[in-house]
Structure 1
Amino acid sequence: MLTSLLLPRLWRICGALLAGTGTILGALIAHLPDTRFGEGGRVMAHGAMEMQMWHALALLVLGLTCPQKPGRLMAFGACGLLLGTLLFCGGVYYTAFSGHHAAHIAPTGGSILILSWLCLAIGWMVRA
């Protein structure tokens, strides 16, 4: 019960942290020499940074606008956005900077993101 009351605050905090680290990564991506990236890594890292920033904004909005006690689907969806963003973007950053493929990390994160958005949509339909 107490956990569900703290979730919106957690989403705001994590959204702000994702936006802050996304800003740092954006600067690094723009200014690091090409030798610091794997082949095609700068473009790949830029795409991950954009995805991170969009989901940071989504978490901030969810944290600011959700009901005092979010329903299970909303809680699952928003927490999934956080986990999916970390996995997806982390896997893409790893590949972009190292040149080595991160196995199933990014696709797993992407799948979690898709499921999380579906949970949010269903949660909002049920609550309406």
Structure 2
Amino acid sequence: MHNDLSRFPLIAGSLLAALGVAFGAFGAHGLRSLLDANALGWWQTAVEYQMWHAISLIALGAARLPRSLLPALLLTAGTVIFAGTLYLMALGGPRWLGAVTPIGGSLMILGWVVLAWQALRTGKQRS
């Protein structure tokens, strides 16, 4: 089971990247004439954050850092919530989803902070 969990960042990052490419293409080719500038901006922001965090998760998985599961979970959940709410709003979802979007952003920030903390702790233990 431990090996399966250690592959989580790589699997999650790969799936988020695949979806990011698909959503980016869909936005550029399928939605450009259907959405207003605001909605297209939300869509583009969602794709950008999703792709940056997908690449980061792939790098995290490839690095095989100890204790990286929690940061990976936080980054993944944050990305899904952040990008997901923006995608839904762009497609006509309720505007109150905009109040949920920062929760995803906060989870992404927390994931990065936890990763930095874990890296500092690991470095101190090895010294």
Q: Which TM-score applies when normalising by structure 2?
A: 0.86
- Point out where structure 1 has 5 or more consecutive residues left out of the alignment: none
Moved over 3 A (4+): 33-36
Match of 2:6 among 5, 8, 16: 8
Aligned-partner residue type, residue 73 of structure 2: C
Q: Deviations over 1:45-81 (max 9, x none)?
A: 01110100000001101111123xx32xx32111100
* CA RMSD across the alignment: 1.7
Q: Deviations over 1:14-45 (max 9, x none)?
A: 11110001001011111124453356111110
Distance verdict in 2 for CA 1:33–1:45, change over 3 Å: closer
Report the equivalent of 1:83.
Answer: 77
CA contact (8 A) 2:70 2:111 kept: yes
Give the paired residue count.
Answer: 122
Aligned-partner residue type, residue 95 of structure 1: M
Are 1:57 and 2:52 matched, yes or no?
A: no
Report the equivalent of 1:127.
Answer: 122
Are 1:116 and 2:111 matched, yes or no?
A: yes
- Point out where structure 2 has 5 or more consecutive residues left out of the alignment: none
Percent of paired sites with the same residue = 34
**1-structure distance, mates of 2:116, 2:42:** 28
Distance verdict in 2 for CA 1:34–1:27, change over 3 Å: closer
Shift of residue 13, structure 1, vs aligned partner? 1.1
Report the equivalent of 2:94.
Answer: 100
**Secondary structure of the equivalent of 1:109?**
helix
**1-structure distance, mates of 2:25, 2:73:** 27
